[in-house]
């Protein structure tokens, strides 16, 4: 919301109806403390004979003072240079001659109540902190913490804490609106299959402007392309990066993006590692770009040299949204975050004036993979942290009817226990309604997740698994959700910090085609596991292998590859164990036997009747594989090994 304060003096009184003018902001901290009012009505309002009180002091407007329609008016203790609240245009100091001050009007940092009267009639009230009020206020006081301020969420007025949020200066406050959607053309793609090639292709098409908002940007090839766009094609390239990446040395990244600044682009950093400096966000964790005011690229993956190349080992999702409406929305968010007046944004070379240039070779070398994303018509809703992502997530879970599939790297400790404010609880509630709910977590980093998976599976109808890599990836770095025909793609991890304190961006895409595209990927990653066994049961199959040293039997059970199984291969009570879903046996006595297997730790089992022979015949040919002994050994070793893949741990 763009708020422009207006002061207006006139002789004619406008409609000064109670309910049009409400308390809008309460800022109790600092020398520039004060209050703002907002006129939600359609006509100007004369505040003469209105009054603001904190129960101890009174501010009485004794002369004409107009607040225009759809405008804000701010009253402060004093004007402080550089202060975001008192320093903005149109503020009125409390000693103004249009205000009669009675008593001591001082907003308490720990808690207070504020009343707005229209000619003696209570028009609005707000109670915050540790203050209790019974005069027009309902329920608990609004929460507020140090160096934050209270902001009204909208024109609705329940005189309760539901009307207010505690926020920091400079943070956007977009309430979640499920009806706010932009008609779009969406191209869906995935990591590692695409190697980020759709990102390069869209940037290559840029004609006038590229805005990149990113947590981590280290792709040499991407930077080389941005330099080319800026220096050779006169494209306005602007980059806003996190300045204090968790557990990562950004010195090489800084030298790399300096190349963009040297080529004529602009690079800014937000946040630093200096205690006490102002910061709007815990981490600037975005992964998006806006191109030519028309297209928005959104990914779950950082734009690193690993993710945007054939080295990519992350499972992640991405979309390209062709929508001028969404692009305009995100341009406004980008420039709001870029605003330096809140003290947490600095130009790269101002922050590091002695920064050295990148010593490597800058060469544009895009991925060679031929990748075709899936394009469809869709309606796209923007989602932001800390503004509205938690509300948007609850909306998805609560409004699902058929399926909810969620693929996450991890669960934050505050959410893993399934409290009422946890997305995990909302998944459980959806499962209770009979919806097919599935959750995939990564198991390659952050220690064992067996306990949380066991907790979810044993206490709810949510089917959950941990995955340690797949056929084509090693780390699940995704943050994706499929809910019926809607898909969530973006940077929001399922942690309290990510929802409530970081700057994050995601989109909710309404499109059956896009939802099915990502659902197919999800189910591929879901693979075979205890839940699929519960749905279909276990089955045994076998292959007869003719090797140089005899006839071998390879028995396979249709359970998870990395589970432990107990076998009785010939039905004579001889027990064998395997750590994979196969077992190799030799020199089985001729005749008909019954093989049985149990999936350890479960109630699932299977039996299979087969005939053993000492030489391959036409009857056994359907199950035969002719392999030399050396090849058989290699095959067995390959079965026994869980594929070891590289870990790409950037978040």
Q: CA dist 127 to 35, 56, 118, 389, Å?
A: 13, 14, 18, 26
More confident residue, 186 or 413: 186
Q: Is the pLDDT of residue 2 over 60?
A: no
Residue 142 DSSP class: B
Q: CA dist 418 to 200, 397, 422, 452, 478, Å?
A: 40, 14, 5, 10, 20
Q: Minimal CA–CA distance to 610: which of 555, 567, 558?
A: 555
Query: Binning pLDDT at 50, 70 and 90, where does residue 443 land?
Result: confident
> Residue 236: what pLDDT?
98
Query: Binning pLDDT at 50, 70 and 90, where does residue 447 land?
Result: low
Q: Minimal CA–CA distance to 295: which of 199, 229, 189?
A: 199
State the sign of the Cα–Cα–Cα–Cα dihedral 241, 243, 248, 253. Answer: positive
Query: What percent of the chain has a predicted confidence (pLDDT) above 70?
Result: 90
Q: Give the span between the Cα atoms of 571 and 597, in whole angstroms.
A: 10
Q: Give the span between the Cα atoms of 143 and 148, in whole angstroms.
A: 10
Q: Count the neighbouring beta carbons within 10 Å of the beta carbon of residue 352.
A: 16
Q: Is the pLDDT of residue 626 over 70?
A: no
> Residue 551: what pLDDT?
83
DSSP states of 539-596: -EEEEEEEETTEEEEEEEESS-TTS-EEEESSSSS--EEESSSEEEEE-PPSEEEEEE
> Residue 619: what pLDDT?
45
DSSP states of 591-640: EEEEEEEEETTSS-EEEEEEEE-SS--TTTGGGEEE--HHHHHHHHHHHH
> Residue 616: what pLDDT?
58
- The fold adopted by the segment(s) 534-640 is Immunoglobulin-like (2.60.40)
* HEC string for 176-222: CCCCCCEEEEEEEEEECCCCCHHHHHHHHCCCCEEEEEECCECCHHH
The CATH number of 21-167 is 2.60.40.1260
> Residue 635: what pLDDT?
40
CATH 2.60.40.1260 domain locations along the chain = 21-167
Minimum mean pLDDT range among 166-170, 338-342, 356-360, 504-508: 166-170
Residue 6 DSSP class: -
Q: Is 467 helix (H, G, I), strand (E, B) or coil?
A: strand
Query: Binning pLDDT at 50, 70 and 90, where does residue 15 land?
Result: very low
Q: Is 447 helix (H, G, I), strand (E, B) or coil?
A: coil
Residue 273 DSSP class: S
Q: Minimal CA–CA distance to 389: which of 485, 507, 299, 281?
A: 507
> Residue 13: what pLDDT?
39
Torsion of CA 586, 589, 592, 593, to 10 degrees: -60
CATH 2.60.40.10 domain locations along the chain = 534-640
Q: Minimal CA–CA distance to 37: which of 124, 141, 132, 161?
A: 124
Q: Is the pLDDT of residue 105 over 60?
A: yes
More confident residue, 250 or 545: 250
Q: Minimal CA–CA distance to 240: which of 355, 344, 383, 359?
A: 344
- Indicate the average pLDDT of the chain: 88
> Residue 651: what pLDDT?
46
Check whether domain 379-524 has CATH 3.40.47.10, yes or no = no
Most confident listed range (136-150, 408-422, 429-443, 625-639): 429-443
> Residue 24: what pLDDT?
95
Query: What percent of the chain has a predicted confidence (pLDDT) above 90?
Result: 70
Torsion of CA 79, 83, 88, 93, to 10 degrees: -20
In what helix (H) or strand (E) does residue 329 lie, and over which residues does it extend? Answer: helix 324-338
Q: Is 288 helix (H, G, I), strand (E, B) or coil?
A: strand
CATH 3.30.870.10 domain locations along the chain = 182-351, 379-524
> Residue 83: what pLDDT?
77
Give long-range contacts, CB 8 A cutoff, 24+ apart: 599-602.
599/530, 599/533, 599/538, 599/557, 599/559, 599/563, 599/564, 599/565, 600/563, 600/564, 600/565, 600/566, 601/564, 602/530, 602/533
Q: Which CATH class is domain 182-351?
A: alpha beta
> Residue 202: what pLDDT?
97
> Residue 17: what pLDDT?
59
| pLDDT tens-digit readout, 496-542 | 999 999 999 999 999 999 999 999 999 999 998 889 888 889 999 98
Q: Is the pLDDT of residue 624 over 80?
A: no
| pLDDT tens-digit readout, 553-580 | 899 999 988 789 999 999 999 999 999 9
Report yes or no: 454 and 479 within 8 Å, Cβ to Cβ.
no
Q: Give the span between the Cα atoms of 279 and 271, in whole angstroms.
A: 6
Q: Locate tokens 């600092």: which residue?
A: 30
The mean per-residue pLDDT over the stretch 286-305 comes to 98
Query: Binning pLDDT at 50, 70 and 90, where does residue 450 land?
Result: confident
Q: Give the span between the Cα atoms of 389 and 146, in whole angstroms.
A: 23
Query: Binning pLDDT at 50, 70 and 90, where does residue 422 land?
Result: very high
Helices then strands (H, E): number in the chain?
A: 13, 37
The mean per-residue pLDDT over the stretch 433-450 comes to 87
Report yes or no: 305 and 314 within 8 Å, Cβ to Cβ.
no
Q: Give the span between the Cα atoms of 236 and 293, in whole angstroms.
A: 12
Report yes or no: 138 and 164 within 8 Å, Cβ to Cβ.
no
Q: Which residues of 22-46 are buried (b: 16+ CB within 10 A; e: fewer)?
A: bbbbbbbebebbbbbbbbbbeebbb
The mean per-residue pLDDT over the stretch 187-209 comes to 97
Q: Give the span between the Cα atoms of 71 and 40, in whole angstroms.
A: 7
Query: Binning pLDDT at 50, 70 and 90, where does residue 490 land?
Result: very high
> Residue 615: what pLDDT?
64
């Amino acid at each position: 919301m763009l708020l422009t304060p207006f002061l207006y003096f006139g002789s004619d009184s406008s409609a000064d109806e109670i309910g049009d003018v409400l308390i809008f902001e309460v800022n109790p901290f600092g020398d520039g403390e004060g209050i703002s009012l907002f006129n939600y009505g359609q006509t100007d309002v004369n505040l003469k004979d209105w009054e603001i009180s904190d129960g101890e002091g009174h501010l009485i407007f004794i002369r004409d003072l107009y607040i225009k329609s759809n405008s804000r008016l701010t009253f402060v203790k004093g004007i402080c240079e550089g202060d975001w609240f008192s320093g903005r245009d149109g503020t009125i100091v409390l000693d103004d001659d249009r205000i009669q001050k009675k008593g001591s009007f001082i907003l308490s940092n720990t808690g207070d109540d504020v009343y707005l009267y229209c000619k003696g009639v209570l028009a609005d009230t707000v109670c915050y902190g540790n203050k209790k009020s019974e005069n027009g206020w309902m329920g608990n006081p609004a929460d507020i913490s140090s160096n934050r301020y209270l902001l009204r969420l909208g024109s609705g007025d329940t005189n309760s804490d539901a009307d207010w949020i505690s926020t920091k200066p400079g943070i956007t406050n977009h309430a979640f609106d499920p009806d706010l959607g932009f008609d779009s053309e969406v191209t869906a793609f995935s990591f590692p299959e695409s190697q980020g090639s759709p990102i390069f292709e869209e940037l290559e098409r840029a004609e006038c402007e590229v805005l990149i908002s990113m947590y981590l940007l280290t792709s040499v090839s991407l930077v080389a392309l941005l330099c080319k766009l800026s220096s050779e094609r006169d494209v306005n390239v602007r980059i806003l990066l996190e300045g204090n990446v968790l557990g990562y040395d950004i010195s090489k990244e800084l030298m790399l993006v300096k190349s963009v600044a040297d080529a004529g682009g602009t690079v800014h950093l937000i946040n630093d590692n200096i205690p006490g400096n102002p910061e709007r966000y815990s981490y600037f964790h975005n992964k998006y770009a806006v191109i030519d005011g028309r297209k928005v690229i959104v990914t779950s993956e950082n734009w690193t040299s690993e993710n945007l190349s054939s080295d990519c080992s992350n499972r992640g999702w991405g979309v390209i949204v062709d929508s001028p409406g969404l692009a305009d929305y995100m341009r406004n968010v980008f420039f709001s975050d870029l605003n330096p007046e809140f003290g947490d944004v600095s130009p790269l070379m101002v922050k590091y004036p002695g920064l050295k240039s990148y010593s490597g070779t800058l060469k544009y070398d895009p991925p060679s993979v031929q990748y075709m994303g899936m394009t469809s018509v869709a309606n796209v809703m923007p989602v932001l942290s800390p503004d509205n992502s938690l509300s948007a997530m609850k909306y998805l879970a609560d409004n699902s009817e058929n399926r909810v599939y969620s693929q996450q790297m991890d669960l934050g400790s505050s959410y893993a226990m399934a409290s009422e404010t946890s997305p995990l609880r909302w998944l459980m509630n959806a499962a209770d309604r009979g919806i097919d709910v599935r959750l995939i977590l990564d198991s390659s980093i952050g220690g064992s997740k067996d306990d949380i998976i066991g907790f979810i599976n044993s206490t709810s109808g949510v089917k959950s698994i941990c995955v340690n890599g797949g056929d084509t990836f090693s780390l699940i770095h995704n943050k994706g959700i499929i809910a019926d025909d809607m898909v969530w793609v973006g940077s929001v991890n399922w942690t309290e910090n990510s929802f409530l304190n970081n700057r994050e961006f995601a989109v909710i895409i309404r499109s059956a085609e896009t939802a099915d595209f990502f659902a197919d990927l999800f189910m591929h990653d879901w693979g075979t596991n205890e839940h699929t066994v519960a749905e279909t049961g276990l089955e045994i199959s076998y292959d007869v292998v003719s090797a140089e040293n005899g006839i071998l039997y390879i028995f396979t059970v249709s359970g998870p590859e990395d589970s432990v199984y107990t076998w009785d291969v010939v039905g004579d009570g001889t027990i064998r164990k395997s750590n994979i879903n196969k077992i190799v046996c030799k020199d089985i006595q001729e005749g008909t036997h019954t093989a049985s297997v149990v999936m350890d730790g479960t109630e699932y089992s299977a039996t299979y009747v087969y005939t053993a022979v000492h030489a391959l015949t036409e009857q056994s040919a359907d199950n035969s594989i002719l392999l030399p002994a050396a090849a058989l050994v290699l095959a067995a070793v390959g079965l026994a090994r869980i594929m070891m893949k590289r870990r790409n741990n950037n978040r």
